[in-house]
Amino acid sequence: MAVTLAGVLGAMIGSFLNVCILRLPNDESILHPPSHCPRCDSRIAWYDNVPILSWLVLRGRCRRCGKGISIQYLLIEAATALLWAAAVWYWGLGLDGLAAALFGTILLGIAVTDAKHYLIPDEYTWGGLAIGLLLSLRGGVDGLLWALAGAGLGFGLLYFVAWAGEKAFGKEAMGGGDIKMMAMVGAFVGWQGVLLTIFLGAFIGTIVWVPISLWHKRLVPFGVFLAAAAGITFVFGDQIIAWYLNFVTAS
Contact residues for Zn ion, defined by CB under 5 A: 37, 39-40, 62, 64-65
Query: Which residues touch 35 (CB under 8 Å, ≥6 apart)?
Result: 19, 43, 44, 49
Q: How far is the CB of 45 from Zn ion (least distance, A)?
A: 12
Return the number of the residue (64 or 117) whose C-beta is nearest Zn ion.
64
DSSP annotation of 44 reads P
Return the number of the residue (65 or 164) whose C-beta is nearest Zn ion.
65
- How far apart CA 113 and CA 200 sit, in angstroms, is 20
Return the number of the residue (71 or 145) whose C-beta is nearest Zn ion.
71
Question: Is 63 within 8 Å of 40 (Cβ atoms)?
Answer: no
- How far apart CA 17 and CA 12 sit, in angstroms, is 9
Q: Could you give phi then psi for residue 172, rounded to 5 degrees?
A: -65, 120
Q: How far is the CB of 44 from Zn ion (least distance, A)?
A: 8
Q: How far is the CB of 40 from Zn ion (least distance, A)?
A: 3
> What string of H, E and C letters represents the secondary structure of 45-75?
CHHHCCCCHHHHHCCCECCCCCCECCHHHHH
Q: How far is the CB of 27 from Zn ion (least distance, A)?
A: 24
Residue 33: is the preceding peptide bond cis (ω within 30°)?
Answer: yes
- How far apart CA 148 and CA 153 sit, in angstroms, is 8
Q: How far is the CB of 47 from Zn ion (least distance, A)?
A: 15
Return the number of the residue (62 or 102) whose C-beta is nearest Zn ion.
62
Return the number of the residue (50 or 240) whose C-beta is nearest Zn ion.
50
What does 95-127 look like in DSSP terms, one character per residue? HHHHHHHHHHHHHHHHHHHHHHHS---HHHHHH
Q: How far is the CB of 58 from Zn ion (least distance, A)?
A: 10
Return the number of the residue (40 or 57) whose C-beta is nearest Zn ion.
40
